[in-house]
Structure 1
């Protein structure tokens, strides 16, 4: 283990000069923003070599020099604070040590506990087999057993699921070198994946019917818990594929899968009907036991289940699926700077199969200390503005503990947060629970925060997740703010409910799972609008290009809605932060912004939205000439141009250039906006942060746009691939909108300039 001080790039350069050193997770070289002492792991081929490195380091500490012929080590040691062998503390995180201690509290030593053991990934199959056999034998000798195993070279994954005695778990939690935590082949030891439940409450009768799907061939899928297939709002609308027969094990209330299916099919039932055209493919990956929350199949590694499910889907009724809803997360695996195994798996699957994964950011219900208030009475007596500011300051102080849950860190996926919004019209008259941000557009209190890998924009967008309220811990002083856990007809999305006393009904839910399902419903509506307007074009489009197009259209209308002013007033009250810094802090909460599904789909006369898809070759580029309406040149009213680029990137797990391909919209050329003094607006992520992921979203707003120009050239450029070049063409989607609020002629003036005309008026 090498603990780094100074420049990460200098450390990388120093390592590259020394033959025989191999990174175990080179993508970690972008130090985690909350880690003052970044640690990186290198694989040393022999024990003697490790001893020699430690000896060299100890000599360097004493004398500041290295022996003759060891010159490159001088450059390496100059970047280091410490060198030590990789040990138990590196394999078991402090959070998981506490989890293990709590889970076995009072258990006898021989009680078996199921855990996941991820091995150091070695490319050589023979070496990997020996490592797995070594760990399996250690487990057997300790009185345990291997339950499942998986090795996936395509995304550098090698793991076993095992039962081990509680006595061994205690030794692991205590970092005993003689335990599995001290075994050389082991990379990490974590609890078995634990799904995130949802809350649902306030039951009502089934008071409505919704149109059924017209077509059988699904383009959207849901991977979730077993639903109530017979519910009148779900019956005949789901193509269920349940090879593990989880249906037979789902004997408890089927809350999660039923609610997610309801939202994907119908949206919020408090909204007017917004039917989708096709049945939805549904793969159960969780089930409801007799007691407790819905759980994953505990005899399988969940990452392996998801990979197998995608491959089976392609061959078993989901050949044309391009959107997969994953309103799931692993509450034992919050993001900590290194991309999760789930995230790596989704990145691989997205690029290989041409799929847009929509993943929930995750919820966190831990209390938020409000340190600036003496007690609950002081908080309640404060002004609405002071309470909102105090709430945000409390969340900001806890942001390191409120980060995304795996697999929301996936680069190719869209990660969805929960917007404090729903369609309920019921008025709540009580004083508590209360609205935490009265008058401000903000995420729900429980919605987890970004950013993602290498400070990429996460969550990508926020969709309505219910107007979740807050309440105070009744005894804490200073007060602690809690997110109110129960939805109701006053705040929440209305969804199908499992039967109660033999009667089907509806109830309400909220959170990032619901918001993600609503995003999937919106993606399907966008697809239906495109298919109606451009049937021939869409039919000839590849699955990856369709997925990229939906990805860009989902994010395209996202905006911060002015909330950056409120957030900045709290985290940068004296406006001393650099614009990159304060906008990154806003992005942590809002991503690219809030998305109103109707706005993403509606057609309006004062704007025109153009889209393109294609593939781009290595170091290639394309230019799209975006026409401007004549009305832009005839007055000085406010107008806007926004462009969104999305792609699916191949990945290189374990390498610094994890995202193997980067696309971007470079600065406009001399005849376009920047040269006219028009820059992108500040109410969005910075260009550098936007370009860290697989979406680029830029907005320009100025009364000079279109003065003296009939078109604007928008360039899509593929940068030179880092490391070994990728020969494959990369699929992308591009969406550009020109808009002048209130100028109803914008659409009609631009339409004649478009080569491919819609069969009907374009709705997206």
Structure 2
């Protein structure tokens, strides 16, 4: 049922404090080795270190050997599992710096292997050797150093950070393609991230050493940045092709062997936006009085004079990218149009305020729109957010980033760009909306001789073949940085649009005939530590496909060009020398549509509860909108289509198959209208607040009497969102975890509901910063007039060093029973703070 604007979201009554429920158990025990095994395996490394340390020029000799455990060199200790309190034990050794920890890929011996990265001074190497010698002889270590004993017992390998760590295989392939046939002096712009050192003087020394190495290689520094708040230290440099070839060969004498370097990366490259099929502008909705921005778009320079954008953007362009934008301004114009108006094929829904617009890309005379090539993109984004807070965007708490770095698909390790967003979101109280990224790589359709055989098959069989092809290459279709950000919402593209008459020709054609599904070009999850990503799917246009005319007969290609038969309608930079419209598709468009929806939710709340919304802090506004966007997402029963493909034998554990479904769907498809208001048979309630360390509160959720009237299907769902401080370099990267406690047996009986598998599992949901729980059934509720059920939310014990500050949360709860027309009215009667919008029967 469509929403009713006269039935706004309802405010939950104030909660009461409640005891926190205990958390779950810990992980299993990891494999360890006896001392004799370890002496044989690692004794020679420590003996070599012992021999050199006894020489008069120990530091110089160690540094001369690229594989030695040397001072000021990043060392890696690979272990079979987590070592409790190891970072604290490292701090007990003077001159030893903890540089981070990461997961290793599991194998048949170790299910959760990890490695620890340390940067030692010479004296620290002597003490590590002393700890090893003592443990090797007696199996003990001095008081306070127990984690070192555990590390020695679980040690798989100890080594120096080397060239293969600094330059991934994917990046080596990228660089070699970039310089193919280029002369030795051809300059390639790259990003070099340094091992982050916590002491400023150590960072300065490392950068000085790196700059000298770049100069010696014939290169030059273009930009540099340090951000201690999220452990970022990077240099943008031009490097000659001759040195790039040495880097790609993993020559230890090249920059790939330079001790200060953590990683060598291509310069950040954005994702282009395809648009096409011009259309006349039509009538422009008159400009209402517009308030100060609460939403921002960081994107390419737009055509701000376009009638759909004029007077609606607050442009802030301190880098004067406008002067460089001499080409077609497609990307920024489209994103601004969608953020302000939504899909122009839908009924008009302009937002109530101007949009703060910060250009971070520009359109050159030819080719795709680009990031400014003389800046480190991550630092530019950080600077832009800080400036926004002081220059017209003081109230902004929603930031649209329909951008991604196509050189950095997520591979398990959270990117520096994502870390930056996580820091900014918590520090400034901002909800970043980030596109998952698009991928146009072809799909090989198995089981058909040619395209004609595919088209002749039943619709269900065709749909299954497309999904099976996607599942076969899911590892190559992962999200682009910074989409794995924990605090951001990541938006994928739903294969949907508002075009009434789709294309009827034989080619291109719809990839799915009978199923709601993401676009075949929308990149897939999962996120950091298997968290739910993408979070939600918004309409991104019905992406058509076609069989390749030059490849083998069953290679399916996405049809690149949008048209009036598929796509979202947006403002166009120019049509026959005048401003008009055209069409676009993909996750960038879906993300901008999510920004538009987020703004509309805020507008509706502000109209209904001005006394609550106006004084609400930015962080609470951000998490409330975050919760409400996810809250109306649903798998729409599509798991019944996906599961047989990812779990053909039906024997996967429910956690596993739901995780595979979530890789495609996240929390599900979002119909924007369901986020804005309620209906007769659906009441959504909301709340915000803060939770202190290990705090717990309980809300009384009203149970309408209609739930006891019959055995119709009913649903209760709850969504909790927060912004977490983060710990870069630590496995416990997310410092704060919140949780929705399970409904007890009495609450389930009162409401007549049970738990359901039609959503990401609880453990997967609780790996991020959104928890979404859903209960459904078709039983008569056992309730009396005025009954409520308790919904408890709590802050788990902080991971790592406790965080003293209270953490803001947003909560949404829905009670729904299709066809029960009194649900909203009965819940409305219960709430203490009534919305200002009039309620109609």
Match among 310, 333, 345 for residue 258 of structure 1: 333
Structure 1 residues 441-520: aligned runs within 5 Å: 441-477=516-552, 479-520=554-595
In structure 2, the partner of 1:589 is 664
* Cα 1:67/1:517, change in 2 over 3 Å: same
Structure 2 residue aligned with 1:725: 802
| Aligned CA distance change for structure 1 residues 761 and 47 (closer, same or farther; 3 Å) | farther
1:202 and 1:487 in contact (8 A); partners too: yes
- What's the counterpart of residue 739 of structure 1? 816
Using the alignment, how far apart are the partners of 2:780 and 2:381 within structure 1? 47
1:138 paired to 2:232: no
Q: Do the aligned partners of 1:32 and 1:337 also contact (CA within 8 Å) in 2?
A: no
Q: SS at the partner of 1:750?
A: helix
Structure 1 residues 335 and 352, CA, compared in 2 at 3 Å: closer, same or farther? same
Residue 29 (structure 1) aligns with: 103
Q: Secondary structure at the match of 2:422?
A: helix
* Of 414, 426, 429, the match for 1:354: 429
Verify the 8 A CA contact 1:392 1:570 in the aligned structure 2: yes
Report the CA distance between 1:30 and its aligned residue.
7.2
The aligned residue for residue 190 of structure 2 is 115
Distance verdict in 2 for CA 1:478–1:705, change over 3 Å? farther
Structure 2 partner of 1:62 = none
**Alignment match, 1:758:** 835
Q: Distance in 2 between matches of 1:551 and 1:32?
A: 33
Is contact 1:221–1:280 with CA below 8 Å preserved after alignment?
Answer: yes
How far, CA to CA, are the matches of 1:472 and 1:56 in structure 2?
A: 64
Offset from partner CA, 1:570-613 (integer Å, 9 cap, x none)? 11122110000000000000000000001211431111111000
Contact 1:2 1:39 in 2 (8 A): no
2:440 is the alignment partner of 1:365 = yes
Which whole-Å CA distance do the structure 1 matches of 2:203 and 2:265 have between them? Answer: 20
Task: Kindly state the Cα deviation for residue 388 of structure 1 after the two structures are TM-superposed.
Answer: 1.5
Hey, what's the Cα distance between the residues in 1 that align with 2:327 and 2:839? 45
Q: 1:275 to 1:141 in 2, by over 3 A?
A: same
Who is 1:711 aligned against?
A: 788
What is the match of residue 642 of structure 1?
717
Alignment of 1:224-623 (within 5 A): 224-477=299-552, 479-623=554-698
SS in 1 for 2:287: coil
1:622 deviates by 1.1
Name the larger-Rg structure: 2
Tell me how far apart the structure 2 counterparts of residues 338 and 108 of structure 1 sit (CA, whole Å). 34
Asked if 2 retains the 8 angstrom alpha-carbon contact of 1:418 and 1:515, the reply is: yes
Match of 2:367, SS state, is coil
Closer/same/farther in 2, CA of residues 398 and 185 from structure 1, 3 Å limit? same
| SS, match of residue 749 in structure 1 | helix
Distance 1:675 1:277, change over 3 A: closer
Residue by residue, what CA displacement relative to the aligned partner does 1:162-221 show, whole Å, maximum 9, x if unpaired? 111111111111111111110011000001110111100111111231242422301110
Report the more deviating stretch, 207-216 or 428-437. 207-216
Ranges in structure 2 where 5+ consecutive residues have no aligned partner:
1-74
Equivalent in the alignment of 2:233: 158
Partner SS state of residue 775, structure 2:
strand
Deviations along 1:596-642, one digit per CA (max 9) or x if unpaired, are 00121143111111100011111111111011111112222211111
* Cα distance in 1 between the residues matched to 2:798 and 2:469: 42
Q: Which has the higher contact order (CA 8 A, sep 6+)?
A: 2
Indicate the SS of the match to 1:126. helix
Which SS does the other structure have where 1:232 is aligned?
coil
- The CA deviation at 1:432 is 1.4
How far is the alpha carbon of 1:17 from its aligned partner?
Answer: 6.5
Aligned alpha-carbon RMSD (Å): 2.6
1:691-706 counterparts in 2 under 5 A?
Answer: 691-704=766-779, 706=781
Determine helix, strand or coil for the equivalent of 2:726: coil
- Identify if the C-alpha distance between structure 1 residues 127 and 298 changes in structure 2 by more than 3 Å, giving closer, same or farther: same
2:752, 2:782 within 8 Å by CA — same for their partners in 1? no
TM-score for the superposition, normalised by structure 1 = 0.94
**Partner in structure 2 of residue 204 of structure 1:** 279
CA contact (8 A) 1:194 1:331 kept: yes
Residue by residue over 1:729-749, the C-alpha shift from the partner in whole angstroms, topping out at 9 and shown as x without a partner, is 111110111011011111111
Task: Name the SS for the 1:714 alignment partner.
Answer: strand
Distance 1:427 1:613 in 2: 42
Alpha-carbon distance in structure 1 between the residues aligned to 2:198 and 2:533: 31
Partner residue, 1:103: 178
Aligned-pair distance for 1:654?
Answer: 1.1
Q: Which residue number in structure 2 is paired with residue 86 of structure 1?
A: 161
> How far does the alpha carbon of each residue in 1:386-412 deviate from its partner, in whole angstroms, 9 at most, with x for none?
221121111111111111111111100
How many angstroms does 1:361 deviate by? 0.3
Question: Aligned-pair distance for 1:81?
Answer: 4.4
Paired residues of 2:397 and 2:621 also in contact (CA < 8 A): yes
Confirm or deny: 8 A CA contact 2:569 2:584 kept in the other structure: yes
2:389 aligns to what SS in structure 1?
A: helix
State the distance in 2 between where 1:624 and 1:706 align. Answer: 19
Cα distance in structure 2, aligned partners of 1:591 and 1:3? 35
1:433-457 Cα deviation digits (max 9, x unpaired):
1211111110000100111101111
Contact 1:471 1:484 in 2 (8 A): yes
Structure 1 spans left out of the alignment, 5+ residues: 60-64
Deviation of 1:41 (Å): 4.6
Cα pair distance change 1:303/1:671, threshold 3 Å: same
1:107·1:166 contact (CA, 8 Å) conserved in 2?
Answer: yes
1:369, CA displacement in angstroms?
2.1
Distance in 1, matches of 2:123 and 2:551, equals 56
**SS class of match (1:24):** strand
Q: Deviations over 1:457-488 (max 9, x none)?
A: 10000000000011122243372222111111
Does the aligned pair in 2 maintain the 1:358–1:516 contact within 8 Å? yes
Give runs of aligned pairs for residues 50-89 of structure 1, distance below 5 A: 66-68=136-138, 75-76=150-151, 79-89=154-164
Residues 715, 753 of structure 2: 8 Å contact kept? no
In 2, Cα distance between the equivalents of 1:592 and 1:213? 35
- The answer to whether the Cα contact below 8 Å between 1:424 and 1:491 also exists between their aligned partners in 2 is yes
Aligned-residue offset at 1:366: 1.0
Distance 1:269 1:691, change over 3 A: same
**Structure 1 residue 76 displacement after superposition:** 3.5
Counterpart CA distance in 2 for 1:278 and 1:156 is: 36
Distance 2:84 2:511 in 1: 45
Distance in 1 of aligned mates of 2:826 and 2:751: 23
**Cα contact 1:667–1:674 (8 A) shared by 2:** no
